[in-house]
Amino acid sequence: MLIRAGYELVLETGAPTPLISLLTIRPSRFPDLRTPHRIRTSAPIPTHDYRDTFGNICTRMTLPAGRTTLSCDFTIADSGLHDRQIPSAIQHEVRDLPSDVLIYLMGSRYCETDLLCQKAWYHFGHIAPGWERVQSIVDFVHQHLTYGYRYARCTRTAWEAYNERVGVCRDFAHLAVALCRCMNIPARYCSGYLGDIGVDPVDGPMDFHAWFEVYLGGEWHSFDARHRIPRIGRILMACGRDAADTALTTAFGSMRLAAFKVHTDEVMQAGQDVATPLTIAA
């Protein structure tokens, strides 16, 4: 299938403000692009891309004083298949993990493994290592937290989410990541697009989405504690230890988000009567 996706962000500053954005899709998806993927600015602003230590594409620019719109619109090919399910994927012994994966066992800004370790072993110590244990963590987080935009707080950590029992998609991902790491399962936080393909549409504004990946059987596999079930059409933008590594924008000065839109739509192809309208559930 083909998916058309993109965004429009309106940023407001009172003075020239340096900015780093992680709004480009992950390089692994570049071969799937069917149209160019470019960050467009409403004013002629010089931009420069670089790749960070996690392999994400970061874009540097300096916003002028006033309002600046960042936008993107692209079409990408997708398999149309659900997230891969490989229950036989093994959990590696720590001594056998690749060195570049070890960082995803460590505690981080929003994932306090030291505080959650005892809880994790209490809840999941009796579960068989590997896929079954990760799925148990996904099921637990999905049931433990109540989702809602009214619960959004940019400073909430995994430990706070565990105790407050509320959150948005990033909180579901942070708690699942932290619990996996406590069980010696490498886990990384992911951000990107996820349209409602193959599920009932959500009546609400579209947004970017957060999920997580775990390293089992020598590969990274996608899991989603917010939605719990395998989904179709994930478009990965960035991954890292937690949301601090994957922030959509980081401004080095005062900046206000004045408007925000995201779109993700399945493209009508030959032989289809109508296109399937999609919204996104964060």
Q: What are the CA-CA distances from residue 207 to residues 7, 8, 88, 281 (Å)?
A: 9, 11, 33, 7
For the chain, first and last CA: distance in Å?
Answer: 22
pLDDT at 271: 55
The rounded distance, in Å, linking the Cα atoms of 207 and 195 is 9
Q: What is the pLDDT of residue 278?
A: 36
Q: Which residues pair with 255 in a beta bridge?
A: 13
The pLDDT value recorded for residue 263 is: 93
What pLDDT score does 265 carry? 87
Residues 6+ apart with CB under 8 A from 192: 25, 26, 208, 209, 211, 234, 235, 236, 237, 238
- Which pLDDT score, from 0 to 100, does residue 200 have? 80
The list of the chain residues with pLDDT below 50 reads 273-282
- pLDDT confidence of residue 243: 97
**Distance of alpha carbon 192 from alpha carbon 210, whole angstroms:** 7
Confidence (pLDDT) at 203: 67
Q: Are strands 166-167 and 146-147 parallel, antiparallel or unpaired?
A: parallel
Between strands 2-13 and 17-21, the pairing is unpaired
Q: Measuring CA to CA, which residue among 24, 67, 83, 59 is closest to residue 229? A: 83
Q: What is the pLDDT of residue 205?
A: 73
Q: What is the CA radius of gyration of the chain?
A: 19
Please give the pLDDT value at position 272.
54
Q: What pLDDT was estimated at residue 218?
A: 97
Are 169 and 149 contacting, i.e. CB atoms less than 8 angstroms apart?
Answer: no
Q: Which two tokens stand for residue 97?
A: 């993990």
